[in-house]
Amino acid sequence: MSAARELQRTMVAWALTTGEAGMRSQARGLAQAVASQVKEFTAPRQGPRAWLAYVLGLGLVPPGWGPPWPDLVVSCGRRAAPFARAIKRASGGRTLAVHVQDPRAHRGAFDLIVAMDHDRLAAGPRVMKIATALHDITKDRLVEAKQSWAPRLAPLGRPLIGVAVGGDLRGRPFRMEDAERLVRSLKDHQARSGGGLAITPSRRTPPAVRARLMAAFAEDPHAFVWDLEGENPYAGILALADRLVVTTDSVSMVSEAVATGKPVELFDLEFGRHRSFVQRLVDQGLATRLGGASAGQPRQRDAVDATALAAARVLGLIQMRTGASG
């Protein structure tokens, strides 16, 4: 076993977030890619005094979060940042502190900041820029999901179009006209390909949108729409689909789709904050817009996995500290 592998086998990491699913998957994904033992924490909500402590860089470790301190803390979400800094201080600097996204304050307290291209941070010795979001969809997880879901999705036929549907964002609800446009696009897509549809709404999908999708494909034996009951098919759909359609409200879902290396089409909700992210993926040939000029020709390509790149950077920092190599 190489020194690097041995180091990973013995490492302990904490994934510290503000609790949202997207934040958790990014911090957990990076932590699991580096360390064999990962524990998740959610930053507690606090009042004005906590905000002042955040501004002054005086964050404290919450009760119950005690030693032994981890080798690595990965935080994601602005409210989580001061607690990550506090853990690093409490460990006497032994804990490597990595923040995902822009912490907005006290950036120099982190050993590494992993920020997406649309974050207004310049790359540097302590800032790594990435094109897509971090995630926890590993090859092993996809293999397991494929084995589990293959018998259930096989009757839908091939090619299989996997569809991941998100929901409302602040200032941009998922409207019924969006749902109607999505249904029309998917029916046209299915008619052209002659294959099946596997559609997974998320917990954020508005109930009326879910109901419209269920009704639209209720009589189609080559379509499956998850009803939010039982096992979540999301990973199985990523693993088994021949091509993927993803709504652009979720940078995480889009990034996970791109990381599979499969053709990806984006159902664009034209959310302002994600506009540059979506356009960059289209410009780089990593995705096409559903219903756009190239909608019928999304291409197979190499996977773009920012998690593996970030994990290699973090492991390199830890090896420099410990003197491990190989």
Q: How many CB atoms lie within 10 A of CB 76?
A: 30
Claim to verify: residue 95 and residue 42 sit in the same structural domain: yes
Claim to verify: residue 146 and residue 253 sit in the same structural domain: yes
DSSP state of 61: P
Scanning the chain, the segments in alpha helix (DSSP H) are: 3-10, 21-34, 48-56, 81-90, 139-153, 176-193, 207-216, 234-240, 251-258, 275-283, 306-322
Claim to verify: residue 151 and residue 232 sit in the same structural domain: yes
Domain for residue 301, yes or no? no
Claim to verify: residue 183 and residue 251 sit in the same structural domain: yes
Domain for residue 299, yes or no? no
Claim to verify: residue 252 and residue 316 sit in the same structural domain: no
CATH code, domain with 216: 3.40.50.2000
Q: How far is 166 from 168, CA to CA, in rounded Å?
A: 7
Domain for residue 20, yes or no? yes
Domain for residue 127, yes or no? yes
User: Using one digit for the tens of pLDDT, what is the confidence trace for 58-113?
Assistant: 567 888 888 999 999 999 998 899 999 999 999 999 999 999 999 988 899 999 99
Q: Give residue for tokens 């955040």.
A: 54
Domain for residue 295, yes or no? no
Write the CB contacts of 290 (distance below 8 Å, at least 6 apart in sequence).
185, 189, 245, 265, 266, 267, 268
Q: Report the candidate in 113, 188, 182, 193 with the shortest Cα–Cα distance to residue 160.
A: 193
Claim to verify: residue 125 and residue 162 sit in the same structural domain: no
Domain for residue 294, yes or no? no
Domain for residue 126, yes or no? yes
Report the number of distinct structural domains present in the chain.
2
Claim to verify: residue 191 and residue 58 sit in the same structural domain: no
Claim to verify: residue 258 and residue 171 sit in the same structural domain: yes
Domain for residue 300, yes or no? no
Q: How far is 145 from 232, CA to CA, in rounded Å?
A: 10
Q: Report the candidate in 211, 305, 206 with the shortest Cα–Cα distance to residue 260.
A: 305
Claim to verify: residue 87 and residue 151 sit in the same structural domain: no
Claim to verify: residue 155 and residue 284 sit in the same structural domain: yes
The range of the structural domain enclosing residue 98 comes to: 3-132+306-322
Per-residue model confidence as pLDDT tens for the chain (326 residues): 466 677 788 899 999 999 998 899 999 999 999 999 999 999 987 655 655 655 555 567 888 888 999 999 999 998 899 999 999 999 999 999 999 999 988 899 999 999 998 888 899 999 999 999 999 999 999 999 999 999 999 999 999 999 999 999 888 899 999 999 999 999 999 999 999 999 999 999 999 999 999 999 999 999 999 999 999 999 999 999 999 999 999 999 999 999 999 999 999 998 877 888 999 999 989 999 997 654 445 565 667 899 999 999 999 999 988 766 55
